[in-house]
Structures are given as C-alpha cells and as structure tokens.
Amino acid sequence: MRGADERAHAVHALGACRLDPNDIRLPRGGLLCVALLAILLSPSTTGAEGTSLTSFEINLVAAHAEQEGWSGEVPHSQRNSVGFEHFARLAGPHGDFLTLNVQARISYDTSVDADDALALELHNAFGELRLGLGKRVRVGHFAPEFGLEPSLDTHATLLQTLAIRDIGFKKDWGIGYRVALDAVDVGVAAQLGAGMGIQRRDGSYLVSARLSTPERGNPVLGLSALLGEVLTGTRPSLYPTPDYGGHATSKRRLGADASYVWRRFSFAAELSSGKNDGAEILGGALLVEYTPGWNDRLAIRGNLFGWMGDPDDGDALWSEVALVGSYRVTSRWTLRLLGARELASGTGSEQTRLAVQAYYLGG
C-alpha cells in the first residue's frame, strides 16, 4: 500500500484538473489526471478488497475502397493503434461499491501528414459508484443513454452501431445515473456534447435517457430520447484537440432498440428519428451474428444500415450492407475480414469496401 504522503501528493496534483464551465478544455496534464485517478481508486492503493486487471491491445488494420484506395483505417470504426485498458472493482463488507474503467489508445491516422498522424484516443474513462438497491452513478467518459451503444461493446469491432453517424461520437464526458427496477431499467445522462475532447463551446450540451426491459432478460427492448447542441470534430482524439469547425448542431431524437439471442444467433436492431438543425432525419440498423456449433472460434456478423435526411449528405438516402467474418486465432489474437457495399450514397457513387483487422488483447 502506498503511504498517506504519496496519496496526498496525488490528490494535490488532481487539483490541476479544475474546469471552467464556460470554456471547458483538457488541461496540459489531463492524461496525468486520468492516470492518477486510476492509481487512487485501484484496490492496491485504497486498502479495500476487490480486483483489478490491466490489458494491452494492438490493432492492425488495412482497408481498401474503390474511390479512396488503400488506407490504414476503416472510416467511423478502426485505425492502426496500440493501447491499454485498466479495470478495477472495489468491494467492502456489503459487496462491490465502485468500478473504474480507463481505456486509451495511441492511433496513427493515414489521412493526414505524418507529422500530425499520431493521436491519443480516450475511450472509456469513468468511475461508477453503486448506491445500493440497483442504483448507480457514473462520472467520466461513457456512452450516452441512447440506442444500442450503451449495452454493446463495439470498441474493437469493424462493424458499429448507429451512434457515430447519428450523434457524431460514441462516448462523451459527463455524469449519468442508472437504476434497475423490477420491470425496467432506467438510465439518464448529462454530458458536454463534444465527444472525446473535453471542451464546451457554442452552448454545447447533451442530455439523454433510456428506458428498457432488464438487461439480464431476453429479449431486451428499449426506448430512448436525446436532446442537445452537439459539437462534432473531424478527428476523434483527446490530443490533438478535435477541430470542431463551425457551430454546434442542434439534435433532437427519439429512438427504439431491441436485442434477442436464439440458439447460436444474436439479433439487434435500432431506429432513430428526429431533427438536425430542424431538418428531419431517419436512421436504422439491423445486426445479426452467428456462431457455428462446429467451431466456437468463428463468428459471422452481418449489418444493414440506412440513413436519410441529413443536410450534410444533401438530404439523400445512404444505406450499406456489410458482412464480417471473425476468427479467434489464439486466446489473445483475433482476425477479422470485412466486405461492405453501399446500396445508396449521397454522392451517387456507391462504393465497395474491403478490410482486414488483426486485433490483440491480453496481459
């Protein structure tokens, strides 16, 4: 256990993380603040019972599209990177009371000059406090309470949910509250509306809420709503700070989602309807996954996406069908192959995309 003087020094360092609500930006020592939180809250420094685990990841991607040619990333999905995940769960006499999760990557963006290609991506970065009777408070960087994203882990997958196209990002900084009742689960969140960057400008904010049948059930049905002034950057990164361009986009959404497991099939679907700066939008996704009985290392997943009405796409219909084969080569290495075809696009030039991913996760 570290001494009291070391913990006091760490707490003093965290004082540098104060935020100005009128112009919230990541301070120079922002990553240090996250690391110090991980140290302070891990079981080894608190003396509390519990468990902790640190895993490392390597993400190697090569993709080809008809118009862009070869690249080292799959748009809105994955790019070449190395990273880690630290997970800690603290427990007392009455069971678990605090969960900490920090998940970060150093990525390489092939679409920019080599001098600017490296970026720090911070994905999960939150602490969740259990209050008892199914109540939990979450603070940090986590998924808004909308659609499938809060309940699906898409961190390493080539196929994603609607979140990035719909909201503009998968996770945001803020505070959330969840309660599990007998018949329903309820989640609400208030966030900055800026995604990975710690920044609030042009009145940005994001408020979301989701009501669902219990997540331990089958099927799981959800209804959600979202309201906000959202900043969307050209590059998902904590550093360098994303370029948010012009003004925040006013977003209003109502959504519905469902997931169901039947034998070796899993099904998930989501629907989102609302407005972007007053323009009507409508989007939907269907995800199907199958694990053959003769080989548990193999999984086949298909996605169908559709989106209509976003003024950034000229109010045109965009849709895509995609298929991914995933094979767990070892306990730590997974190989994925992607084939995707646009059925309709805003440009009128539908593309076929191919990608291969080698993903490592282990201690």
For the chain, the farthest-separated pair of C-alpha atoms sits apart, in whole angstroms, at: 64
Could you give the 3-state DSSP secondary structure of residue 240?
Answer: coil
Q: What is the secondary structure of 298-348 as a DSSP string?
A: EEEEEEEEEEE--GGGTT-EEEEEEEEEEEE-SSSEEEEEEEEEEEE-TTS
Residue 28: which residues within 8 A CB-CB, separation 6 or more? none
Q: Give per-10-residue mean pLDDT for the chain (363 aa).
A: 38 38 42 49 55 94 87 86 94 83 91 82 93 92 95 90 91 95 94 87 92 93 96 81 81 97 96 92 95 91 89 70 96 96 81 95 89
Side chain identity at 74, as an amino acid letter?
Answer: V
Could you give the 3-state DSSP secondary structure of residue 38?
Answer: helix
pLDDT of the residue at 251:
95
pLDDT of the residue at 48:
58
CA distance 178 to 128: 10
CA distance 230 to 248: 5
Q: Do residues 127 and 102 touch, judged by C-beta distance below 8 A?
A: no
pTM of the model: 0.84
CA distance 195 to 248: 12
Nearest Cα to Cα of residue 83 among 171, 156, 140: 156
Nearest Cα to Cα of residue 60 among 328, 337, 358, 326: 358
* Domains of the chain: residue spans and CATH: 4-362 (2.40.160.10)
Q: Which two tokens stand for residue 353?
A: 């995309």
pLDDT of the residue at 22:
40
Nearest Cα to Cα of residue 224 among 143, 169, 280: 143
pLDDT of the residue at 212:
96
Q: What is the secondary structure of 75-114 as a DSSP string?
A: TTTEESEEEEEEEEEEEETTEEEEEEEEEEEEEE-TTS-G
What are residue 230's DSSP bridge partners? 249
Q: Which two tokens stand for residue 192?
A: 């900055």
Nearest Cα to Cα of residue 159 among 285, 58, 333: 285
pLDDT of the residue at 111:
75
The alpha carbons of the chain give a radius of gyration, in whole angstroms, of: 21
pLDDT of the residue at 3:
39
Nearest Cα to Cα of residue 277 among 255, 309, 300, 303: 309
CA distance 132 to 97: 8
